[in-house]
Amino acid sequence: MPFTLQHLSDIEEIKVLKHRYFRGIDTGDQALLADIFVENVACTYNGGTYKVSLKGRAAMLEFLANSFHSGAAAMHIGIMPEVAITGDNTATGIWYLQDVFIDTEKDDHTFGTAIYTDTYRREGGVWRIESTYYDRVIEVLTKFSKTGGRLSVQRLATTGRKPEERTDISHLIQWDE
C-alpha cells in the first residue's frame, strides 16, 4: 500500500473470485465452481470436528459436490478481505468466514467462524485460487431439531447431490469422534 490502479483492479477481481466461490458452494452451482481453482490447488480446512486436506482441482470439486449435498442447507459468508498483490500474477488474501451448516440427514447444526489465508495466481489473464487454508475461531455445535427451527427453503435439496449420486470422499476429510 498505497495501491496503484492495477492493484485496485486486481484486488476487485480477486474479491469477486472469492465471492463466486461462496455463492457457488451454498447454491450448489458446480458450473460456477469449475473455473475458480488452479489445476494444482491446495486446500486445508481445520474445523473443530473435521480436517480437510486435499490437492488438485478434481479432488476439490469432488469434495465440494459431496459436502454440499441434497440434505444440506449452507451459509458461508466470506468478508473483511485483506488482499495484497505480491507480484505481476500472484496475490495473497486473508478473509473472515462466518458459516451456518445444517445437515438434515444427521440432524447437525454448526455455527462457526474462521480466518482464511489464501494465495491466488493469474493464468492467461484470469485470477484463480491457488491455495486456501482456514483455522476456526469459534465453532458451536447443536442438533438442528433442538433449535426449534424448520427449514422453509433449502436450495441444496434441489441442486445438491442426491444420496445415489454421491461418491466417497473419506480420504479427503477426517472426522473427530
What is the contact surface with its own copies in residues (CB under 8 A)?
1-13, 16, 18-20, 22-23, 26-27, 47-49, 73-75, 77-82, 94, 96, 98, 100, 102, 111-113, 115, 136-143, 146-155
**Residue 28 CB, nearest approach to its own copies (Å):** 9
Q: Which is nearer to its own copies, 2 or 163 (CB)?
A: 2
Q: Residue 126 CB, nearest distance to its own copies (Å)?
A: 9
Nearer Cβ to its own copies (50/53): 50
In the complex, the smallest distance separating the C-beta of residue 118 from its own copies, rounded to whole angstroms, is: 14
Shorter beta-carbon distance to its own copies: residue 1 or 168: 1
- In whole angstroms, the minimum distance from the beta carbon of 148 to its own copies comes to 4
- Residue (153 or 168) nearer to its own copies, CB: 153
Q: How far apart are CA 129 and CA 30, in angstroms?
A: 16
Is 139 buried (19+), middle (13-18) or exposed (0-12) by CB count in 10 A? middle
Radius of gyration of the chain from its Cα atoms, rounded to whole angstroms: 17
Minimum CB separation of residue 120 from its own copies in Å reads: 14
**Cα–Cα distance, 173 to 4 (Å, whole number):** 40
The Cα 83–Cα 13 span in angstroms is 11
Closest to its own copies by CB, 58 vs 79, is 79
| Alpha carbon separation from 103 to 106, 107, 111, 157 (Å, rounded) | 6, 6, 12, 11
Distance CA 102, CA 156 (A): 11
The residue with cell 483492479 is 9
